[in-house]
Amino acid sequence: MGMLGKRRPSRISGQRVSAGTGRKVPTLSGAVIDKASSGDVNENAVDILRLAHDGRGIAKDDAGKTLFVDQALPGERVKVAVHRSRRRFDEAHVRELITSSSERVLPPCPHYGQCGGCDLQHLSLEAQRRHKCDVLIDQLARQGVALNASPMLLAGEGFGYRRRARLGVKVDAQGQVHLGFRARGSRHLVDITECPILVPALAALLTPLRQHLATLQAPRQVGHIELLAGDDELAVVVRQLRANAEDAEGWRQWGSTCKVSVGLLQGRENPKFSFPDKALQLSYTLQSGARNLKQRALELYFSPGDFLQINAEINREMVATAMEWLEPDKNDHVLDLFAGVGNFSLALAPHVAKVTSVEGSLAMVKRLQHNARHNDLDNIDAQSGDLNQNPALDSHPHSVVLDPPRGGAEAVCQSLATSEIKRILYVSCDPATLARDAGHLVKGGYRITQAAVADMFAQTAHLEAMLLFERPST
């Protein structure tokens, strides 16, 4: 069983491409049967029919069983090897590419296929974005919700956009330090020497970080390293499982040399956070106002642990689109749920009478309040609340903005469905929970008047979406 779940190398375009990490695949409630160890290879070619929501190719084997094939594209003919078998479908990877799609491209990252960070680098950017629009339409249709028109696309650069990342650290039995990202669905750490997804300033820190880790007195006490980029400042947060004064001083000196703020999160139980060299000043800018209106620059501060949209360019596009869709009026009261550090609240505040911002994290509420003061906005009422229980509808808003985590906002939407609120803007990072919640609103009488897919996570199957719901006038 030493080969349990191992993904075998594939031949693509005449080159040998590593398709996995040699990791083990866990058995799930007895439903997963490993076939890789017995050499279960489908020597008959299969045709890839379409893409699954997660970006894998879908095919049928000779018996009519569904295959989900890693890194295979519609229109391609491939030979596959099954690495996991379930009762209703098998999971496979490409052994040989017979016919290639015209939309296949050469992934620029040397770690692609091993690192779990990206899953669509082999597909052209244009095709990735069409797929994401199709996924949103399909997920809504599964809930009986139809769009009147194709969603608009908010898109930017395909690489160099990620301003936040967490790197794993491991020291092997020979004392060699490994730094990188996890393989998909595994604890296996893939060493990373470069990452074209990171903003260039963070990508440039990978080699210096690796070099410095090798000089530490206790590298095994480093759990992970988080990279953060503001508009004008970089930060590295080091998770130290046990405090070490010599290594703490080494990190301070490294940060000074690399012009990076280094923070230490020390201790196993109730870890304490500190920036030993200087106060952290991470921030990003937004423009308040629609694209065709007079705009005002805003500066928002954030800290490690705060929610942050990882793609600054797409975030700016989403905020500008929200301003256009909501058509804020000076007499409006807007309720911003899951408000974070004020991403939408601050943009709306200069154009409305009042913004009530509700956020579950007290630390982010305090940051939002600070950001309001910093930008001379006195019409934001920021408060902490459990948004699974308290949608704060008793404040009688004209419009509602919600940007929940991946689990969605079902309880909130069930309450909103019975309200008379004029407009609801829902921003989501998970199309399945968005569709579920949209079903509640549509059943309550709302209709979708605007839809957009925001390519926040280029080169991956993840997508951000925006829907505007409006209550028809009676």
Mean pLDDT value across residues 119-127:
96
DSSP β-bridge partners for residue 359: 384
Q: What angle do CA 196, 200, 205 make, to 5 degrees?
A: 95
d(CA 209, CA 299): 29
- pLDDT above 80 for 98: yes
C-alpha distances (whole Å) from 34 to each of 20, 57, 62, 291 are: 15, 20, 19, 54
- pLDDT above 60 for 64: yes
- The residue among 268 and 447 whose pLDDT is bigger is 447
Band (pLDDT 50/70/90 cuts) for residue 26 is very low
The residue length of the chain stands at 474
d(CA 95, CA 354): 59
Catalytic residue among 133, 195, 413, 429: 429
d(CA 453, CA 451): 7
Kindly give, in sequence order, each residue whose CB lies less than 8 Å from that of residue 135, ignoring residues fewer than 6 positions away.
53, 431, 461, 463
Mean pLDDT value across residues 281-287:
92
The answer to whether 202 touches 163, Cβ cutoff 8 Å, is yes
**Could you say which DSSP state residue 356 is in?**
E
Instruction: For residue 420, give both structure tokens.
Output: 């008379």
Note the pLDDT of residue 326. 96
Lowest mean pLDDT among 27-31, 80-84, 117-121, 366-370: 27-31
Mean pLDDT value across residues 186-212:
95
d(CA 375, CA 392): 25
pTM (2 decimals)? 0.88
Note the pLDDT of residue 14. 35
d(CA 465, CA 272): 36
Which amino acid is present at 271? Answer: P
- pLDDT above 60 for 364: yes
- How many other C-beta atoms are found inside a 10 Å radius of the C-beta of residue 193? 11
DSSP β-bridge partners for residue 262: 236
- pLDDT above 50 for 31: no
- pLDDT above 90 for 19: no
On the 0-12 / 13-18 / 19+ scale of CB atoms within 10 A, 356 is buried
- Does the annotation mark 429 as catalytic? yes
